[in-house]
Chain A
Amino acid sequence: MKKLSLLSLLLLVVRRDLVLAMRRRADVLTTLFFFVMVVSLFPLGVGPEMDMLRKMAPGVLWVAALLASMLSLGRLFSADYLDGTLEQMLLAPQSLSVLVLGKMVSHWMVSGLPLVLMTPVLGLQFDMSVDAIGVLMLSLFLGTPILSMVGAIGAALTLGLRGGGVLLSLLVLPLCIPVLIFGTGAVQAVTSGLNVSSHLSLMGALLILALAFTPWVTAQALRISME
């Protein structure tokens, strides 16, 4: 037997969570359908005024993505907590933060990436321009991993609590406000002909910051929750 390197440990966790997600497909699809439903209800409810829809589009898509990611966060650690796998993860002789990062990455691939890929289709319902859709996808691509990572802290803190889902949203949603502002700001900038790079680079900075700190914070939160 040989020792696993940190990178192969990360890949092991990502692969494991993706395999589990593929064998429990209903969970993945509910998040995606929730996103599609919420976004599609707006044009139906607001009516076919193209100008208004075009203006609303980035906000609606971003808020829907935010809510959809809350929906799936509760499951991030709970299955592992209930069957005892989390205990074993806490006893991992290598870094718990790396295991947590692996879970965040696979959570994003399962619940964030499909939303990004679905965006062009939904953007058409709002009569968005090609440029605007491109920037919206890019901002969601940068922003949804932040939602998964910040959300993981909340998921770890509310682990094993009854009614943890609501508490989780109350904890995490305020922290996601900057991501929402810069994400929708970027799309508004491109539609009014301004430069989008400042918004996107701020989101990139937030993403790097989240990558650097959230795995460690989540690991500490998990240790507190297991006590």
Chain B
Amino acid sequence: MLEVSNLACSRGDHRLFSGLCFTLSPGQIMQIQGANGSGKTSLLRTLCGFIIPDEGCISWDGTDVRELDEDYFSQMMYLGHLNAIKDELSALENLRISAGLSGMELSEVDAIAALRRMGLKGRERLPAKVLSQGQRRRVALARLLVSDARLWVLDEPLAALDVGAVALIGELISEHLARGGMVIFTTHQPLVVAGMEMRSLSLS
């Protein structure tokens, strides 16, 4: 369970938000809403520990995440604006290496299966530089399929994706929630997640 209490964050002298409180329990999904520059990405990066909050506390299963440190990282997964894809490596190598960095050994068979499900059949061994933006995003999103993290933190997961891929992401999220996972995300596109109540948090 993710608990955020009285969180405040600023960039430079500008206070983005303060007094932010929410909890996210297993099986829940939350969308962060707000205009450009309202601090959505900063909030997600704070949840990942990249930004140290000015005030307040983020706790995971009752313990402050800054104490948990690497134990927390093993249970969460972050997908940011940047895809973390290397142009020189193939889609398959990219996926296996990013799984490796998150501490998991991913077999080639599993990696290919994940990429095929993301609609990249036949492109597994092409270098990422010949893939389109949307296809590179799909390679990055394939990490969701091979991760066993309980908390997904997704920053604009739908950017550059086509309609089919958006539906697929909705499907992945609802499977994850059904397993007792948690999702917190931002998006400017409508995302349909079947059978789940979408909570939303507005930053202004």
Does A129 sit within 8 A of B, measured CB to CB?
no
Consensus secondary structure, chain B interface: loop
A residues 3-27 touching B (CB-CB < 8 Å): 3-4, 8-9, 12-13, 16, 19-20, 23-24
**A64 on interface, CB distance cutoff 8 Å:** no
A227:B51 contact, CB within 8 angstroms: yes
A31-39, A87-95, A180-188: which lies at the interface: A87-95
List CB contacts (< 8 Å) of B91-123 with chain A: 93, 97-107, 110
CB-CB contacts of B137-153 with A at 8 A, as 1s and 0s?
Answer: 00000000010100000
- Interface size bracket, B side: 35 or more
* B80 in complex: contacting residue of A13, A20, A82, A84, CB < 8 Å: A84
B76 at the interface (CB under 8 A from A): yes
Most B C-beta atoms less than 10 A away, residue of A83, A84, A90, A93: A93
Using CB atoms, name the residue of chain B closest to A23.
B88
- Near A by CB (< 8 A), chain B positions 47-64 give 48-52
Write out the residue numbers on chain B whose beta carbons fall within 8 Å of the beta carbon of A2: 104-105
Interface residue B74 (Cβ < 8 Å from any Cβ of A): yes
Residues of A near B80 (CB, < 8 A) are 84, 87
State which residues 43-62 of A face B: CB under 8 Å: none
Q: Once the chains bind, are A88 and B103 in contact (CB under 8 Å)?
A: no
A226 CB within 8 Å of chain B: yes
- Are the CB atoms of A83 and B104 closer together than 8 Å? no
Q: Mark B180-203, 1 if CB is under 8 A from A, else 0.
A: 000000000000000000000000
Q: Which chain B residues lie closer than 8 Å to A93 at the CB level?
A: 70-71, 73-74, 102-103
Minimum CB distance partner of B106 in chain A: A1
For B88, list chain A residues within 8 Å (CB).
19-20, 23-24
Query: Do A8 and B51 form a contact, CB below 8 Å, given A20-B86, A88-B84?
Result: no
Q: Please determine whether B103 and A83 come into contact, CB atoms closer than 8 angstroms.
A: no
Give chain A's interface residue range (CB within 8 Å of chain B): 20 to 34
Check if A99 is an interface residue, CB within 8 A of chain B: yes
Among A8, A9, A79, A87, the residue within 8 A (CB) of B50 is A87
Interface contact A91-B48, CB-CB below 8 Å? yes
**A185 shortest CB reach to chain B, Å:** 41
User: Which residue of the partner chain, among B70, B73, B98, B104, contacts A1 with CB atoms under 8 Å?
Assistant: B104
For the residues of A in contact with B, the DSSP-based class is helix
What 0/1 readout, one digit per residue, does chain B (21-59) give for beta carbons within 8 Å of chain A?
000000000000000000000000000111110000000
Q: Please report the C-alpha to C-alpha distance between residue A151 and residue B83 in the assembled complex, in whole angstroms.
A: 27
Residue A85 at the B interface, CB < 8 A?
Answer: yes
User: Is B105 within 8 A of A3, CB to CB?
Assistant: yes
Chain B residues lying within 8 Å of A24, measured Cβ to Cβ, are: 88
Specify which chain A residues have a CB less than 8 angstroms from the CB of B160 in the assembled complex: none
Which residue, A1, A9, A20, A89, has most C-beta atoms of chain B within 10 A?
A1
Partner of B82, one of A8, A20, A83, A99: A83
Contact assessment for B86 and A85 in the assembled complex, using a CB-CB cutoff below 8 Å: yes
B89 proximal to A (CB < 8 A): yes
B15, CB-defined interface residue at 8 Å: no
Closest CB in chain B relative to A69 CB, distance in Å: 23
Determine whether the beta carbon of A12 is less than 8 Å from that of B70. Answer: no
B179 at the interface (CB under 8 A from A): no
A215 to chain B, nearest CB (A): 15
A: residues with CB less than 8 A from B are 1-4, 8-9, 12-13, 16, 19-20, 23-24, 79, 82-85, 87-95, 99, 226-227
10 closest cross-chain pairs (CB), A and B: A84-B82, A93-B74, A84-B84, A23-B88, A93-B73, A12-B100, A85-B84, A93-B103, A1-B104, A88-B84
Q: What are 14 A-to-B residue pairs whose CB atoms are below 8 Å?
A: A1-B99, A1-B148, A12-B101, A20-B89, A83-B83, A84-B84, A85-B101, A87-B82, A88-B98, A91-B73, A91-B76, A91-B78, A94-B70, A226-B50
